Structure 1
Amino acid sequence: MNESFLIPVIYQRKEYEFKARFERWGYTHRIAVLIDEITFTFDPDEEGGYRALVHPKSAISADPPFAALLNAVAEKLAGLSS
């Protein structure tokens, strides 16, 4: 069962709302988040946070400002699950 929701994130003093989808994966889950027409998958990590999975061919994967946005989304997701 996949559940959709909106995730509000404050990044660089602006508030954004991204479409997100909770996806069950066997005994765990993933959260797919749509950012700028690209879907990023966030997996739970061992420390109770989330890590973003970025496709290696993505041109934005090495862009530090965009990486900071993904980090802000991951922190928000970790806060929702606690």
Structure 2
Amino acid sequence: MNEPFIIPVTYQGTVHEFKARFERWGYTHRIAVLIDEATFVFEPDEEGGYRALSINATTVSLNVGLLQAVAEKLRSLSN
């Protein structure tokens, strides 16, 4: 079992700390990140970055800029 960890992300001049969890997914992995009581799943993309998988946007107010900031932070952690 993977232990949760904290990802510090700077977005619009403020540092946010999000709980995250590494998940094995076949031959690759995903990282589940808890943002404002909703879990967003990020997976590696072909360019070496991360992308958020689609979610039900009707239940969560989606902040694309914040998701991009989290994806960039995950990319920097993997390098």
When normalised by structure 1's length, the TM-score is 0.88
Report the CA distance between 1:54 and its aligned residue: 2.8
Deviation digits for residues 34-55 of structure 1 (CA, Å, limit 9, x no counterpart):
0000000000000000000131
Give the equivalent residue in structure 1 for 2:30.
30
Other-structure match for 1:16: 16
- Stretches (4+) displaced over 3 A: none
Aligned to 2:73: 76
Give the distance between the partners of 2:69 and 2:45, measured in 1 at CA: 15
RMSD across aligned positions (CA): 1.1
Identity of aligned residues (%): 69
Q: TM-score, normalised by structure 2?
A: 0.91
Q: Which runs of 5+ in 2 are unaligned?
A: none
Describe the superposition over 1:3-57 as per-residue Cα deviations: whole angstroms up to 9, x where unpaired. 31100000000000000000001110000000000000000000000000131x3
